[in-house]
Amino acid sequence: SAVISQKPSRDICQRGTSLTIQCQVDSQVTMMFWYRQQPGQSLTLIATANQGSEATYESGFVIDKFPISRPNLTFSTLTVSNMSPEDSSIYLCSVGQGGADTQYFGPGTRLTVL
Amino acid sequence: AQSVTQLDSQVPVFEEAPVELRCNYSSSVSVYLFWYVQYPNQGLQLLLKYLSGSTLVESINGFEAEFNKSQTSFHLRKPSVHISDTAEYFCAVSPMNTGFQKLVFGTGTRLLVSP
């Protein structure tokens, strides 16, 4: 299984600012995913990021608000832009290999927006 | 579209007692089914999965889940829980036509095991 790290592990931010979350994997992976887990709610897929192509966003999520980079096969970033208190969530990245049947998750980034 | 329902947000149980965490889903297409576990201050870990074959699947730490297609359920059970099983458990489905790229999660069930 892949070992995934995320930075930062948590942060407290002011509204109107932006935060970039990093996801690092210890092996090359085809697919990387970003999820949001709002308080008391389930995980929701934000977007899928494959290296060499634009991220694919799920309904309700847009690139201007959540720009994603995927510069290589072991790294991705998610930026939460122009934050508001409603963006307070845990953000998780996960990885999967093409044809593999399991996604592996990072430890998450706990974001609080004041 | 898919949805996953975990009716119990929290399940308190005494150590060595049996437990069942319920999961029901709805989907217009066939799905794969997963249980993930999140221990305190840790990331999600895959507990077990149903892809095909026997409808009863087991994990290495004594949990089992049974896929019931007619009831669209995938309940998780353990005959005797330990304190260390205290965690949040998430049921998830993945439509078979998405190549495991799309996971839809339930809201989670917090299992609290006390001595």
Q: How far apart are CA B114 and CA B15, in angstroms?
A: 6
For A10-38, give one letter per residue: b (16+ CB within 10 A) or e.
eeebeeeeebebbbebeeebebbbbbbbe
Q: How far apart are CA B71 and CA B67, in angstroms?
A: 9
Q: How far apart are CA A41 and CA A89, in angstroms?
A: 10
Confidence of residue B107 (pLDDT cuts 50, 70, 90): very high
Confidence of residue A97 (pLDDT cuts 50, 70, 90): low
Question: Is residue A88 scored above 60 in pLDDT?
Answer: yes
Question: Is residue A98 scored above 60 in pLDDT?
Answer: no
pLDDT of amino acid B95: 86
Q: For the purposes of burial, counting CB atoms within 10 Å of the CB of B60, is it exposed (0-12), middle (13-18) or buried (19 or more)?
A: exposed
How far from each other are the two terminal CA atoms of chain B, in whole angstroms?
41
Confidence of residue B5 (pLDDT cuts 50, 70, 90): very high
Extended strands (E) in A51-88: 56-57, 68-72, 75-80
Which site among A21, A26, A42 would you substitute to test the B interface, given the most B Cβ atoms closer than 10 Å to its Cβ? A42
Bond into A8 cis (ω within 30): yes
Average pLDDT over residues B96-100: 73
Question: Is residue B99 scored above 70 in pLDDT?
Answer: no
Q: How far apart are CA A87 and CA B56, in angstroms?
A: 39
CA dihedral B90, B96, B99, B104 (to 10 degrees): -30
Nearest CB neighbour to A48, from listed B43, B49, B101:
B101
Which site among A97, A105, A110 would you substitute to test the B interface, given the most B Cβ atoms closer than 10 Å to its Cβ? A105
Q: For the purposes of burial, counting CB atoms within 10 Å of the CB of A91, is it exposed (0-12), middle (13-18) or buried (19 or more)?
A: buried
pLDDT of amino acid B92: 95
Element (H, E) at A20: strand A19-25
Nearest residue in chain B measured CA to CA from A105: B44
Number of CB pairs < 8 Å for A and B? 51
Task: Give the range among B9-13, B86-90, B97-101 with minimum mean pLDDT.
Answer: B97-101
Q: Find residue B92's DSSP bridge partners.
A: B34, B105
Average pLDDT over residues B52-58: 89
